[in-house]
Homo-oligomer: A and B are copies of this chain.
Amino acid sequence: MLIKNDFDVRRLLACPPPTLRILTSAPNLNFHPTLDLTDRSSIMPAMTPDIDTRTRILLTAREMFHGRSYSDVGIQEICDAAKVQKGSFYHFFPSKRELAMAVIDNMADDWAYGFVAEAFDPDLPPLVRLDYMIDAAYYWQVAASNMEGRMPGCLFGNLALEMSTRDDVMRAKLNAVFNKAMNKFRVTLDEAVKNGSLAAMDTEATATAMLAYLEGIILLAKTRNDPKVILHLGPAIKTLRIELSH
């Protein structure tokens, strides 16, 4: 059982917090979540007009940016889906760009306090955390895949490739998100080295390599539209090593 509990797919998929479910799974085996992931009726932000307008815009945009791309999604389309007038949109967000920034922050928070926090649980043995992270990524893509019919990949990776050459501030913001994630890996590796389960290495470089690998397999899985790629290639993340430069 890797994904232990309180793992809320709906939140990750830009949805208002539903009742929590307990998800169980065997490591690197298909999950059998209790959620009916084909039922989208309850998870669209627009369907729950009780949440405030700004949040509705934010979550709708997040889902659309994630499933498509920044340029491909128009403000009008976001407003329609969020059941908000365009004028209202510009009351809460000065521009599309600033919306994207807010989306990144929002997703980064959900990420950090969601399944990333769970995967990098200090109570878990360091190396198990790596498997956990792969597992979570896989499960997360399967869930999204079942809902949208296609793998959305990693929002940060998507935006990074799309926006890095167009907006340096957004690039830096995405880079900061990646750095935070890298640090989770680094702390884990440091601990593994300390307790002897791994030989001494350049933990920062290796952590960065692991993050790159994670993004890489998600990219490839998305291109194949097959989340199983993550399961298949993921465990090899533990073989990555960069020695200390002397």
Contact = CB atoms under 8 A, between A and B. Distances in A.
Contacts of A242: 233, 235-236, 239
Given A67-B165, A206-B236, A217 B216 contact: yes
A197 B228 CA distance: 30
Contact of A209 (B69, B71, B72, B217): B217
Interface residues of A, number: 49
Contacts of A178: 220, 223
Interface in A214-246: 214-217, 219-220, 222-225, 229, 232-233, 235-236, 239-242
Contacts of A168: 150, 225
Contact of A208 (B205, B233, B235, B241): B233
Interface stretch (A120-128, A135-143, A156-164): A156-164
Contacts of A166: 68-69, 72
A96 interface: no
A45 interface: no
A59 interface: no
A67 B164 CA distance: 10
A158 B159 CA distance: 10
Contact of A215 (B152, B205, B219, B235): B219
B220 A215 contact: yes
Contacts of A213: 209, 212-213, 216, 240
A229 B212 CA distance: 10
A225 to B, nearest CB: 6
Interface in A97-154: 148, 150-153
A211 interface: yes
Contact of A165 (B150, B161, B215): B150
B225 A217 contact: no
B225 A236 contact: no
A60 B239 CA distance: 41
Contacts of A171: 223, 225
A174 interface: yes
7 closest A-B pairs by beta carbon, nearest first, are A216-B216, A71-B71, A212-B216, A160-B223, A212-B217, A212-B220, A215-B216
